[in-house]
Structure 1
Amino acid sequence: MSKDNLTLYRWQAVDPPGSLQYGESLCSQPQELLTELIQSGLQPVTIKKIHKLRSGQWKNRERIAFIRQLATLLKTGLPLLPSLKLLASDHSLPAWRCVLGDMVKQVNEGQPLSGVMLQYQQVFPAIYPQVIAIGELTGQLENCCLQLAMQQEQVQSLQKRVKKALRYPLIVMTLALLITLLMLTLVLPEFAKIYASFDAELPWFTQLLIAASQWVVSYGIVGMLLTAGGCAAYIHYWHPQEKWRWREQQCQLKLPIINKLIRYGCLCQLFQTLVLTQHAGMTLSAGLQAAEAAMSHLPYKRAVGQLALRLAEGRPLHKALDESPLFSSLCQQLVRIGEESGSLDSLLQKLAQWHSEQAHELAESLAQKIEPLMMLFMGVIVGGLVIAMYLPIFNLGAAMN
């Protein structure tokens, strides 16, 4: 049974000896928590709702930390159940303490760890229970946990670099917009009053900016409210819809430089997942299904799903790759060599490493490439505003001479 739409509650209850007990629990409804406490022999006193949990609140770094710590404890020879108990008792976040506590309870009752993870689809992406299930079947749970942690760390590192590379131009453009608005609303109106006393014709550039300034002062608040409302509506209503995210991500694939970052990142994630699943003992078809479930970029998610379908039809992987424009010729060529030579695992590893290196290099050089353009952009905006404000003064001085 899937445990989605969970809410964190904090409760106090009295046990049979009369002592006051307290704790946290994750439930869909407070009635479920009430029933659970009564069945445990506790008399509820207070149940307080803390906050509703959404999928975005389960951070990847916390998942990686959990799975790596679990791998470390298992490597030392500690059994699974004591390892989970230790991680549950030491975790700093109440929501994670509740999830891990429920894991301890269900594993103690005989449930496999992978089966418990499947119940928490918001917490653990599909690749987690799939790889854990392979570890349980082969008796190599600690190795599978370690490989999963390493693969997820590589994906997270790449995502951080890409976000860092894109953050700089966004900050510069935001600053340029703020400076422009401040000058249009605070500085330029004062200059307009001075120029009105000259009773002289202003340059067309200055007239244009004064008209823009008057429009911003008159309708700027309304425009900002409409823009904010449109952004909020898009984020909360349209963006969660798959068709809108599909269009957005398709447009991203057409942007220069950005499309390379996305392609390298998605292909790196795909091949890293395939390497992980191959090492774990999963079939290539199951590995593609796991990669599809783990992929967040919708065009690539669909493309990987089509690869799995073509593979199920009996086609080799290199021919399936050749039929999609989202996969480069390098992918098709190396996979073909790997399939023909029987060394597919090592060539998938090389493809993952190559795409990772390309994405890292592009992310590191992106800021250096964009910095001159951003400085030019800022210079044109600020310089244009300054020239527009002082141009009438220059013309007036020339006329007086």
Structure 2
Amino acid sequence: MPVFEYRVRDRSGKTLKSQVEAESMAHVRDSLRAKGLMIVDIKPPKTGLQGDINIPFLNDRPPGLKPIAIFSRQLATLINAGVPLVQALTIMQRQLEHKGLQNVVKKVRTDVEAGTPLSEAIAKYPKVFNRLYINLVRAGETSGTLDSVLERISDFQEKDLALRGKIKGAMTYPVIVLVFAVLITYVLLTTVVPQFGGILQQLGGDLPLITRILMAVSDFLRTKVLLLVVIVGLLVVAYQQYYKTKQGRHNIDEIKLKIPVFGTLLRRTAIASFARTFGLLISSGVNIIESLEITKGTANNAIVEDTIENAKNVVMVGEQMSGSLAASPVFPPMVVSMIAIGEETGALDTMLAKVADFYDREVEEAVDGLTAAIEPIMIVFLGGIVGVIVAGMFLPMFSIINTLSK
């Protein structure tokens, strides 16, 4: 639908400038007059090189967390500065770089301009604004603190981005080393090993077990690599299908939390995310039952979700949720004690914020320790693979040379 730019004057004589989507200029004129606005001018949609470039792939892809965090921060700043919501959305639409988010904000602005609350307008786009975001905006509209709520959302998203970036940064090095290790191993087994194997077979003599294993693996990779790809693909599909089942997801997520080092990191990350999300919802005025339900949806782990669901059921019957959390293998006694104190003193959101800050630091320390430990482990791993191949090729050479010298 084409976009028309217009300038109007309201009843106080103030000039307003904005944009609107409509089928024709006549529809724009009728809509503005129906609102009691005096039309100054209406510009037709831009065409040709001046028009917006429409690339479906770019315009339809959902934005990541970073563009949403920037949008929330800037929108909060504009509203806090006294800019009307419709005008603030118009400004944001013009300066957003992400085409998909820009189109969504354009549609949201049109709905808000027509009198729809912001929370209802963004609820139409669940792929962009999740349930947590929508409920927080609704709470901000109800309490008249939309600007402060948007600032809290942006703080939350920025901390979440920083934590994810820390974890991704720690995982980048081992993944790169592992990929190179696989490639080097494949090249050695499919090019170097067959040549040495041919020489050893011509010289004769008994080959060590390690050499025979390497030659068998080399033959398999050179002649049946497609079979290996099919097997790996079937294993991946089987894992995905099993994980989609309720019991499968529960079993796999439980194993993830028990993995040495990585399990501890996942548990600390889950606690930090729970405390940060739950505390943000409580402090923004969302009721505790709804807050627990929303927090459960952001857990990304079946064990943590079950724990939060049990806590919600306990709260619904009028009891404190700290007792339910104490029975979970995820939450340590310190966290349970702080939540219990928060429930007794009525400062649950404050205690949750302290828990989140503490475990954010714990996650950072765990990631730093993991990064420091992974580097030598990966070097030893890569060196071990190359060493096994070299030993498997040269051990029989030494044996044959000794035989010939005698």
- Equivalent residue for 2:321, pick from 317, 324, 330: 317
Match of 1:50 in 2: 56
Deviations 1:124-181 (A, max 9, x none): 1111111111111111111000011101111121122122223333332222222211
Call closer, same or farther: CA 1:355–1:132 in 2, change over 3 Å: same
Please report how far the alpha carbon of residue 352 of structure 1 lies from its aligned counterpart in structure 2 after TM superposition.
Answer: 0.8
Please report how far the alpha carbon of residue 396 of structure 1 lies from its aligned counterpart in structure 2 after TM superposition.
Answer: 2.0
Please report how far the alpha carbon of residue 246 of structure 1 lies from its aligned counterpart in structure 2 after TM superposition.
Answer: 4.3
User: Structure 1: 5+ residue runs without aligned partners?
Assistant: 1-10, 15-22, 26-35
Call closer, same or farther: CA 1:68–1:161 in 2, change over 3 Å: same
Please report how far the alpha carbon of residue 230 of structure 1 lies from its aligned counterpart in structure 2 after TM superposition.
Answer: 5.0
Match of 2:72 in 1: 67
CA distance in 1, matches of 2:105, 2:119: 13
Call closer, same or farther: CA 1:256–1:139 in 2, change over 3 Å: same
Call closer, same or farther: CA 1:156–1:305 in 2, change over 3 Å: farther
1:115 aligns with 2:115: no
Contact 1:206 1:388 in 2 (8 A): yes
Match of 1:79 in 2: 84
CA distance in 2, matches of 1:84, 1:222: 55
User: Which residue identity is paired with 2:167?
Assistant: V
Please report how far the alpha carbon of residue 88 of structure 1 lies from its aligned counterpart in structure 2 after TM superposition.
Answer: 1.0
- Equivalent residue for 1:295, pick from 296, 299, 321: 299
CA distance in 1, matches of 2:256, 2:135: 30
Call closer, same or farther: CA 1:69–1:110 in 2, change over 3 Å: same
Call closer, same or farther: CA 1:185–1:244 in 2, change over 3 Å: same
Structure-2-length-normalised TM-score: 0.82
Partner of 2:203, secondary structure, is coil
**Structure-to-structure mapping, 1:123-138, within 5 angstroms:** 123-138=128-143
Call closer, same or farther: CA 1:245–1:275 in 2, change over 3 Å: same
Contact 1:125 1:294 in 2 (8 A): no
CA distance in 1, matches of 2:122, 2:379: 49
CA distance in 1, matches of 2:70, 2:224: 50
- Equivalent residue for 2:355, pick from 351, 374, 379: 351
Contact 2:72 2:150 in 1 (8 A): yes
Partner of 1:57, secondary structure, is coil
Match of 2:260 in 1: 256
Please report how far the alpha carbon of residue 348 of structure 1 lies from its aligned counterpart in structure 2 after TM superposition.
Answer: 1.5
CA distance in 1, matches of 2:65, 2:86: 23
Structure-1-length-normalised TM-score: 0.83
Please report how far the alpha carbon of residue 241 of structure 1 lies from its aligned counterpart in structure 2 after TM superposition.
Answer: 6.4
- Equivalent residue for 1:95, pick from 96, 100, 110: 100
Deviations 1:360-395 (A, max 9, x none): 110111011122222221121110101111111111
CA distance in 1, matches of 2:256, 2:68: 28
Partner of 1:142, secondary structure, is helix
- Equivalent residue for 2:270, pick from 242, 266, 270: 266
Partner of 2:331, secondary structure, is coil
After the TM superposition, which of the residue ranges 305-314 and 187-196 deviates more from structure 2? 305-314
Partner of 2:56, secondary structure, is strand
User: Which residue identity is paired with 1:374?
Assistant: M
Partner of 1:256, secondary structure, is coil
Match of 1:19 in 2: none
1:193 aligns with 2:198: yes
CA distance in 2, matches of 1:91, 1:340: 45
Larger radius of gyration: 2
Partner of 1:121, secondary structure, is coil
Call closer, same or farther: CA 1:169–1:350 in 2, change over 3 Å: same
Please report how far the alpha carbon of residue 345 of structure 1 lies from its aligned counterpart in structure 2 after TM superposition.
Answer: 2.9
Partner of 1:119, secondary structure, is coil
CA distance in 2, matches of 1:141, 1:12: 31
Contact 1:169 1:374 in 2 (8 A): yes
Please report how far the alpha carbon of residue 248 of structure 1 lies from its aligned counterpart in structure 2 after TM superposition.
Answer: 3.5
- Equivalent residue for 1:279, pick from 270, 280, 283: 283
Contact 1:321 1:332 in 2 (8 A): yes
Q: Percentage identity across aligned positions? A: 25
Contact 1:159 1:265 in 2 (8 A): no
Match of 2:341 in 1: 337
Call closer, same or farther: CA 1:235–1:159 in 2, change over 3 Å: farther
Match of 1:174 in 2: 179
User: Structure 2: 5+ residue runs without aligned partners?
Assistant: 5-18, 29-43, 48-53
User: Which residue identity is paired with 2:182?
Assistant: L
Contact 2:265 2:363 in 1 (8 A): yes
Runs (4+) of structure 1 moved beyond 3 Å?
Answer: 11-14, 36-43, 51-54, 228-231, 233-248
Partner of 1:347, secondary structure, is helix
CA distance in 2, matches of 1:13, 1:61: 27
CA distance in 1, matches of 2:172, 2:253: 18
1:152 aligns with 2:157: yes
Contact 2:174 2:378 in 1 (8 A): yes
RMSD: 3.2
Contact 1:253 1:259 in 2 (8 A): yes
